[in-house]
A = this chain, B = another copy of it.
């Protein structure tokens, strides 16, 4: 109901526009006594930060986070821990370039939210996309950094697995490689190929789509809530809420349309005295509930709508016109969606960890 909140028991409410004074979030429902410093959060914000390579927007935002509430000194260690009260996180906007927005002030950029915000609200902050800007995702990454600390033993990771027509080679997948290239690519060879390919896109003033894969290991079996808070439903909701995402799939996903029941069944055997699955077509979720296997989800990000080629459009006055979107933009906005996708997955799992504990105890 609250449009700018996400989650049930572990709940984030975000605020802020691209060119306003600040953006941030309130994280509510976090358990107490979890060590938390600004640098814990800053680490993840830095991964999402713009301007770190020639493949992302050149806007220079330090994205420095400030904790306004919800932490206090631990009685024993004296170090900062969560108190169970709301954690407000603020990031001030710094590099709002004082440019002339005259061109986009009254024109609707194709593929952007310009037309629909105007149709809905009759007013919009057109500077940098206002509230529809992907800058809002900085708040998600900050909240996600807190969420990662809630489920003991859980590790959430993400990688870019496709840019345009070029997919990673899963045989060469190496998680360590993800941190070594500007694409969060788990495969060095593909990363090199993407660099060439994206240079072409970038120089042409064009853009291209991408697919991201996010995973979570160490998730206990039993999380998720049939029927209308299924874990895969919640993950789909979380990932589809990210700017420019047009599709989400879990496990085998859309490929399962072509599988038979025999191929799709994840058979089970006892391994080391525990029931284990022999494959993971389900992506770690059966009947909306985690199975204890790795959670695997993918989402597609459409090409950045801001491109240099003129596109036909109309303006608020109902005049036909053309538009070219100048300014600083990502040639493949999917790249920076990797840490955002990780954050959203962590948020869902933290939330359902608490929900499960509530109904079940333990």
Chain B CB within 8 A of A20 CB: yes
What is the CB-to-nearest-CB distance from A49 to chain B, in angstroms, rounded to a whole number? Answer: 20
Q: Is the CB of B258 within 8 A of A165?
A: yes
| CB under 8 Å from chain B, chain A span 8-38 | 8-9, 11, 13-17, 20-24, 26, 28-29, 31-33
Q: Answer whether residue A359 sits at the interface, using C-beta atoms and an 8 A cutoff.
A: yes
Chain B residues within an 8 Å CB radius of A192: none
A122 and B74 CA atoms in complex are apart in Å by 10
Once A226-B3, A236-B240, A252-B302 are accepted as A-B contacts, the answer to whether A318 and B270 lie under 8 Å apart by CB is: yes
* Contact yes or no, A116 B290, CB < 8 A: yes
Interface membership of A112, Cβ < 8 A: yes
| Whole-angstrom distance between the Cβ of A239 and the nearest chain B Cβ | 8
Q: Given A232-B246, A233-B240, A261-B303: A120 and B72 within 8 A (CB)?
A: no
Question: What separation, in Å, do the CA atoms of A115 and B113 have in the docked complex?
Answer: 43
For residue A317, give the distance in angstroms from its CB to the closest CB of chain B: 10
Chain B neighbourhood of A83, CB < 8 A: 121, 123-125, 130-131
Q: Do residues B119 and A221 form an inter-chain contact, with CB atoms below 8 A?
A: yes
Q: Pick from A53-61, A171-179, A182-190, A307-315 the stretch touching chain B.
A: A307-315
**Do B257 and A300 have beta carbons less than 8 Å apart?**
yes
Does A283 sit within 8 A of B, measured CB to CB?
yes
* A256–B300 touching, CB < 8 Å: yes
- What 4 A-B pairs come out closest when comparing CB atoms? A113-B287, A358-B358, A247-B249, A116-B289
Given A4-B85, A248-B240, A289-B113, A208 and B21 touching (CB < 8 A)?
no
Using known A-B contacts A28-B3, A246-B251, A256-B246, determine if residue A116 contacts B307 with beta carbons closer than 8 Å.
Answer: no
* Cβ–Cβ contact B236 & A31, under 8 A: no
Encode contact with B along A160-171: 1 for CB under 8 Å, 0 otherwise: 001111000000
Contacts of A237 in B (CB 8 A): 233-234, 236-237, 240
Given contacts A16-B88, A281-B302, 12 further A-B contacts (CB under 8 A): A1-B29, A4-B28, A90-B90, A111-B286, A120-B222, A120-B223, A121-B360, A132-B226, A207-B261, A237-B240, A253-B300, A269-B320
Does A181 sit at the interface, judged by CB under 8 A? no
A194 at the A/B interface (Cβ < 8 Å)?
Answer: no
